[in-house]
Chain A
Amino acid sequence: MRTGSAPHNLRIGFYVCHCGHNIAAMVDCPEVARYVERLPGVALSRDYKYMCSDPGQELIQKDIREFQLNRVVVASCSPLLHEHTFRAATEAGGLNPFFFHMVNIREHDSWVHTDRKEATEKAKALARAAIGRVAHHRALEVKRVPIHPDVLVVGGGIAGIHAALTLAHAGKKVFLVEREPSIGGHMAKFDKTFPTLDCAACILTPKMSEVGSHPNITLWSFSEVTQVDGYVGNYTVTVRRKARYVNEDLCTGCQECIANCVYKEPKFNDEFNEGLGRRKPVYIPFPQATPQMVLIDPEVCLNFKRGVLTDKCKKTCVEACGEKKAIDFKQQEEVRELKVGTIIVATGFQTFDARRIPQYGYGLFPNVYTALEVERLINASGPTGGEVLLRDGRQPKAIGIIHCVGSRDLKTNRWCSRVCCMYSLKLAHLLHEHSQAEIYNFYIDMRTPGKGYEEFYDKLLAEGVQFIRGRVGEVTDWAMTPEEEGRLVLRVEDTLAGFVRRIPVDMVVLSTGLEPQKDAQEVRRLFNMSCGSEGFFLERHPKLAPVNTFTDGIFLAGACQGPRDIPDSVAQAGAAAAEAMALIDRGHIEQEPNTAHILEDECSGCKSCIPLCPYTAITFDEDRQKASVNEALCKGCGTCVASCPSGSMVQHLFEDEEVFSEIEGVLAD
Chain B
Amino acid sequence: MKFSYFPGCSLKGLGRAYEESLLPVLRHLGVELEELPDWNCCGATAYMAEDEVKACVLAARNLALCESSGNQQLMAPCAACYLVLNKTKHYFHEYPAMRKTIQHALGAVGLNYGGDTPVRHPLDVLVNDVGLEAIKQKVRYPLKGLKIAPYYGCQLVRPYSTFDDQYNPTTMDRLLEALGANVVRYPLKTKCCGGSLTGTVPKAGMRLVYILLNEARKRGADCLATVCPLCQFNLDAYHAQMSARYGPVPIPTVYFSQLMGLAFGLSEPELGLRRSAVAFNWRPAEVAA
Contact = CB atoms under 8 A, between A and B. Distances in A.
Interface in B184-234: 187-188, 211, 215
B32 interface: no
A480 B210 CA distance: 11
A358 B187 contact: no
A358 B188 contact: no
B215 A478 contact: yes
A366 to B, nearest CB: 14
Contacts of B168: 358-359
B129 interface: no
A477 interface: yes
A354 to B, nearest CB: 13
A229 interface: no
A287 B166 CA distance: 44
B160 interface: no
Contacts of A359: 167-168
B285 to A, nearest CB: 31
A274 interface: no
Contacts of A121: none
Contact of A477 (B165, B187, B211): B187
Nearest to B186: A478
A478 B167 CA distance: 15
A216 interface: no
A474 B168 CA distance: 11
Contacts of B188: 478
A476 interface: yes
A358 B215 contact: no
Contacts of B167: 358-359, 474
A478 B168 CA distance: 14
Contacts of A358: 165, 167-168
A412 to B, nearest CB: 13
Nearest to B214: A480
Contacts of B211: 480
A359 B188 CA distance: 11
Contacts of B187: 474, 476-478
A359 B157 CA distance: 14
A311 to B, nearest CB: 43
A480 B165 CA distance: 25
Contacts, number: 13
Interface in A297-314: none
A242 to B, nearest CB: 37
Interface in A455-479: 474, 476-478
Interface string A350-393: 00000000110000000000000000000000000000000000
A480 B167 CA distance: 20
Contacts of A480: 211
A189 B211 CA distance: 43
B222 to A, nearest CB: 19
Contacts of A478: 187-188, 215
Interface string B78-94: 00000000000000000
Nearest to A357: B167
Nearest to B188: A478
Interface string A334-364: 0000000000000000000000001100000
A362 to B, nearest CB: 12
A548 B7 CA distance: 62
A571 to B, nearest CB: 40
A358 B215 CA distance: 20
A474 B165 CA distance: 14
Interface string A472-491: 00101110100000000000
B206 to A, nearest CB: 15
Interface in B4-55: none
B83 to A, nearest CB: 19
Interface string B256-287: 00000000000000000000000000000000
A476 B219 CA distance: 14
A480 B188 CA distance: 12
Nearest to B215: A478
Contacts of A477: 187
A498 to B, nearest CB: 19
A478 B214 CA distance: 10
Contacts of B215: 478
Interface string B132-170: 000000000000000000000000000000000101100
Interface string A299-334: 000000000000000000000000000000000000
B246 to A, nearest CB: 12
B68 to A, nearest CB: 37
B158 to A, nearest CB: 12
A73 to B, nearest CB: 44
B251 to A, nearest CB: 16
A480 B191 CA distance: 14
Nearest to A474: B167
Nearest to A359: B167
Contacts of A474: 167, 187
A322 to B, nearest CB: 54
Contacts of B165: 358
A409 to B, nearest CB: 13
Nearest to A360: B167
A259 B230 CA distance: 65
Nearest to A476: B187
A358 B185 CA distance: 13
A49 B45 CA distance: 63
A477 B188 CA distance: 10
B63 to A, nearest CB: 28
B85 to A, nearest CB: 24
A161 to B, nearest CB: 40
A605 B66 CA distance: 67
A358 B165 CA distance: 9
B220 to A, nearest CB: 14
Nearest to A358: B168
B150 to A, nearest CB: 14
A476 B167 CA distance: 12
A477 B167 CA distance: 15
A489 to B, nearest CB: 9
A491 to B, nearest CB: 10
Interface string B162-180: 0001011000000000000
A478 to B, nearest CB: 4
B199 to A, nearest CB: 24
* Chain A CB within 10 A, most for which of B168, B188, B211: B168
A359 B166 CA distance: 10
A58 B215 CA distance: 80
A357 to B, nearest CB: 8
A478 B218 CA distance: 10
B204 to A, nearest CB: 14
B137 to A, nearest CB: 30
A477 B165 CA distance: 19
A320 B168 CA distance: 52
A118 to B, nearest CB: 25
A358 B168 CA distance: 6
Nearest to B168: A358
Nearest to B211: A480
Interface in B104-121: none
B10 to A, nearest CB: 28
A622 B3 CA distance: 72
A476 B185 CA distance: 11
B93 to A, nearest CB: 19
Interface in A429-477: 474, 476-477
Interface string A248-284: 0000000000000000000000000000000000000
8 contacts: A359-B167, A359-B168, A474-B167, A474-B187, A476-B187, A478-B187, A478-B215, A480-B211
Of all A-B residue pairs in the complex, the 10 with the closest CB atoms, nearest first, are A358-B168, A359-B167, A478-B187, A476-B187, A478-B215, A358-B167, A478-B188, A358-B165, A477-B187, A359-B168
Interface of B: 165, 167-168, 187-188, 211, 215
Given A358-B168, A474-B187, A478-B188, 10 more contacts: A358-B165, A358-B167, A359-B167, A359-B168, A474-B167, A476-B187, A477-B187, A478-B187, A478-B215, A480-B211
